[in-house]
Structure 1
Amino acid sequence: MKILVVHDRSEIASQIRDVVVGVSAAAAIDIVEDAVGARDKLTEDYFDLMIIDLTIANVSGRGEVSYQAVEGLLEEVFTPSRIFAPGNIVGITRDPDALKRVSTKIGSHLMSIVREDDEGGWQTELADRISYVQLSQRARSSAWLTKHDYDLFILSALDKELRPLQSIFELSEQRGLPGVFDFVFNDREGRVRRAACAAIGRAGQASAAAEAEGLICQLRPKLAIMVGFCGGVEGKVQLGDILVAETAIDWDFGKWKPNASAAKLYSRPEPITIRGSTTHRIARRLVDGGIGRIDGLQEGLFRRSAKEITSPSIKLTPFASGSAVIADANVLETLRGLNEDIGGVDMESYGFYYASRYSRAARAEFMCIKSVADHCKPDKDDRLHEACCYASAELAHHIVTREWDFS
């Protein structure tokens, strides 16, 4: 807990410090003696509690000591500005007249006002207020760990993978989180749900894990979905197939050892699976029902692929996820040695699954949906990227509006 003490009498400021330490020995305490010092501290950092004398100078040693300096500071705190408004504010004074002078507008923003007395009763009263702030902080921390804020979060690696969502939902960029877009949608019961989406801006395992962890902790969604396109293992999947990653396998984690002709990677993967989850049950249901049950999806893929994708399927398959693009048959054969059922190959699913599974905030259910744009060959190109981005976004849209029970 971080506490800012604003008081122009050092002996009282010291007593306040003792009260704080008595309630919370680990509290971080900053002490300043005037309104300018308080303003500087509130500009630099966020405080859980500010304890402020109601009669201080604007600048210590210069000007009159009065309630007006505090009134001006509090007006600035509660007006949109560069100042971080503290979580709670307790006023403290030994001047009975100051209690009357504090305007209703300012007084309403104070958690309470403690009147100093010679018997020391004010210290007990202040300790009670600090205890409540500490209890409130613990409750917020507990809620952060267990309660969800958003219903849905959709993440992609590249901007073009997120682009189809612009035509599906009405997106508006968040003020506090640049690059994160808010939107609402109706779930299968017709209820309005709160959602957000973002594109990382680059491919890669590390960026996927870092962005997913940060945004999942901030947004705390009930359901997190990654969308986009991927490579596919020929013979297991066809171009345009929409894959749900049943398991994400970090294939390039391991050890390079010398061999007769060249060094060889000996993989030591630690797969993460969605088996047993609600996302897994829904994916199985979609696979069983087939792509035909999703209105317009097959026709849209056919049209956006210039008629190349004619009979796509929805498949639940393991993904090989690594830090580099694969365009070599020998590497593909190595991957199949890890799990012969691997169908999808990408650079983000493992990082996304790791961040979702081990999030330090309220845990989300999660799934990765990607459509096969190539077969990981040297002649791979981007001709099917638009169609595959559309396919994964549309399947995600179908899941959140027709399949998922957000209640």
Structure 2
Amino acid sequence: MTTLRVLVVDDEHEKVVAISTELNKLGLPIHIESRTDAASARRLLQSERFDLVLIDVSLPDALDTGPSPMAGFDFYDLISIDDQIYIPRSILFITAKEDKLEESRAEANARGVELCEVHPASEIWRPFLAARARLVYRHVKSEGSTDVDVAVITAMRTPELSEVLALDYGWQRKRFPGDPSTYHFGVATTDGRSIKVVAVAASRKGMSASAAVAAKVATKLKPKYLVMLGICAGIPGKTNLGDVIVASSTWDWGSGKHTQDESGSVVFKTGALQSTLDPTLLEIARDVGEELEVRQKIRAGWTAAMPAGEFSVHAGPMATGASVLAHEGLVEGIVDQNRDVLGIEMEAYAVMAAAESCKCGAIVLKSVCDYADASKSDDWQKYAAYTSAMFFSHLIGKLPL
């Protein structure tokens, strides 16, 4: 269910109570937060997303200061340029001070924002606030923009997305006007929490398609995390077929310069930049991967044929490139770029880069389906997609939301 998230920034308790009471009368699924000063409200907006924000014109800058007559406008100006804040769909200035009404209205108009007089004992402002809240809720509901905690991206519908949709999340399919992607919305109930998830597959394999869908999902649905699931090639001797790799860093192994050495031989000089996993998320993933019970449950849940060897979870570098590899010599060249590399695939770096630009957290969890050599086949793709999705199902409840 879509929830309307509202933040009231006001140090007058009576006014906050009146606003909250009026909004709760609407019968909408609504979550209301309040802050009494600009500094704490700004910190909250940096960590959480809100659809409607009401800002008192006269507002304390911090908890230990008194209200300043026009501090609400200064607060608005700050959050408007703060690149760590998701700008709410709708913002209203509010005031109960009639002596500065015209001056306040002029300041609000200069910012293209409406000013609403809110007197707890008055009835005039109530219909306006109710109508604005209903309008914002209709927009939010039509776009599903506030109800997603985690967005799962896969490169392929089969077997990657199909294994994600096999998770018992009560998936519901949805399409948006003018958007060719199919979105699957579900809820993961784990560790006492209900976590809202959306899953979507890119239109095709490769960095460009995954970057496009990741950026679109991050913009449209504003998840806290983008999670890339699916399959990859592993490095022989470091990973077994079906093992999950948590990408501690990713880079485009094809980025660099082709030139000649003194003898005239063609050489490639890598110039790739790396995207790295947040250290806290890396440690959480490592902790979950080290739990024997988790690994045993994942292994036991697969009833078809499975590769020999133990199932393990690894954390390490993952190389991304535009080409499908089935040649040992090329793999050796990639290992030369980073001797600790564990996996090679075609999308991870693009998703990590998209998350950075959209201010989302990003995690890549891919499972080994082959070794990118002459024996490459599709035999273990479904099993690898399964282990990737199942490890995600154990990890999601540990993510800080």
TM-score range, shorter chain: 0.5 to 0.7
After TM superposition, the structure 1 = structure 2 runs for residues 265-344 of structure 1, keeping only pairs within 5 Å, are 265-276=268-279, 278-290=280-292, 292-294=293-295, 296-301=297-302, 303-304=303-304, 306-344=305-343
After TM superposition, the structure 1 = structure 2 runs for residues 129-168 of structure 1, keeping only pairs within 5 Å, are 134=113, 150-160=148-158, 161-168=160-167
CA contact (8 A) 2:233 2:369 kept: yes
Within 1, Cα distance between the matches of 2:291 and 2:224?
Answer: 25
Alignment correspondent of 1:367? 363
- Residue 385 of structure 2, aligned match among 386, 389, 398: 389
Per the normalisation by structure 1, the TM-score is 0.60
**1:152-173 alpha-carbon deviations (Å, 9 max, x no partner):** 1111000010101222122212
Give the direction of change, closer, same or farther, for the CA distance of 1:373–1:333 in structure 2 (3 Å limit).
Answer: same
Give the direction of change, closer, same or farther, for the CA distance of 1:238–1:135 in structure 2 (3 Å limit).
Answer: farther
How far the C-alpha of 1:193 sits from its partner, in A, is: 2.5
Within 1, Cα distance between the matches of 2:157 and 2:332?
Answer: 31
CA contact (8 A) 2:149 2:196 kept: yes
- Residue 212 of structure 2, aligned match among 210, 213, 216: 210
Within 2, Cα distance between the matches of 1:245 and 1:185?
Answer: 23
Within 2, Cα distance between the matches of 1:322 and 1:192?
Answer: 36
Give the direction of change, closer, same or farther, for the CA distance of 1:124–1:174 in structure 2 (3 Å limit).
Answer: farther
How far the C-alpha of 1:261 sits from its partner, in A, is: 7.1
How far the C-alpha of 1:255 sits from its partner, in A, is: 1.1
5+ residue gaps, structure 1, are: 1-86, 89-122
Equivalent AA in structure 2 for residue 252 of structure 1: G
How far the C-alpha of 1:209 sits from its partner, in A, is: 1.3
How far the C-alpha of 1:391 sits from its partner, in A, is: 0.6
CA contact (8 A) 2:239 2:342 kept: yes
- Is 1:185 the counterpart of 2:188 in the alignment? yes
**1:330-354 alpha-carbon deviations (Å, 9 max, x no partner):** 1111111111110100000100111
How far the C-alpha of 1:235 sits from its partner, in A, is: 1.4
Within 2, Cα distance between the matches of 1:261 and 1:394?
Answer: 50
Give the direction of change, closer, same or farther, for the CA distance of 1:127–1:210 in structure 2 (3 Å limit).
Answer: same
Alignment correspondent of 1:175? 175
Give the direction of change, closer, same or farther, for the CA distance of 1:341–1:372 in structure 2 (3 Å limit).
Answer: same
How far the C-alpha of 1:293 sits from its partner, in A, is: 2.8
Within 1, Cα distance between the matches of 2:360 and 2:396?
Answer: 14
Within 2, Cα distance between the matches of 1:368 and 1:187?
Answer: 20
Q: Secondary structure at the match of 1:351?
A: helix
Equivalent AA in structure 1 for residue 249 of structure 2: T
Q: Percent identity?
A: 24
Bigger drift between 259-268 and 217-226 goes to 259-268
How far the C-alpha of 1:364 sits from its partner, in A, is: 2.2
Alignment correspondent of 1:48? none
Within 1, Cα distance between the matches of 2:213 and 2:366?
Answer: 18
CA contact (8 A) 1:248 1:350 kept: yes
Alignment correspondent of 2:53? none
Give the direction of change, closer, same or farther, for the CA distance of 1:245–1:135 in structure 2 (3 Å limit).
Answer: farther
Alignment correspondent of 1:404? 399
Larger radius of gyration: 1
**1:118-153 alpha-carbon deviations (Å, 9 max, x no partner):** xxxxx999978856853699xx9xxx9xx9652111
- Number of matched pairs: 270
Give the direction of change, closer, same or farther, for the CA distance of 1:135–1:197 in structure 2 (3 Å limit).
Answer: farther
Within 1, Cα distance between the matches of 2:390 and 2:194?
Answer: 19
Bigger drift between 251-260 and 334-343 goes to 251-260
Within 1, Cα distance between the matches of 2:378 and 2:222?
Answer: 34
Provide the aligned C-alpha RMSD in A. Answer: 3.0
Per the normalisation by structure 2, the TM-score is 0.61
Q: Secondary structure at the match of 1:307?
A: coil
- Residue 254 of structure 2, aligned match among 249, 252, 255: 252
Give the direction of change, closer, same or farther, for the CA distance of 1:308–1:187 in structure 2 (3 Å limit).
Answer: closer
Equivalent AA in structure 2 for residue 300 of structure 1: G
Within 1, Cα distance between the matches of 2:306 and 2:164?
Answer: 22
Within 2, Cα distance between the matches of 1:195 and 1:386?
Answer: 22
Within 2, Cα distance between the matches of 1:247 and 1:148?
Answer: 29
Equivalent AA in structure 2 for residue 202 of structure 1: R
Within 2, Cα distance between the matches of 1:153 and 1:337?
Answer: 33
CA contact (8 A) 1:236 1:341 kept: no
Equivalent AA in structure 2 for residue 268 of structure 1: G
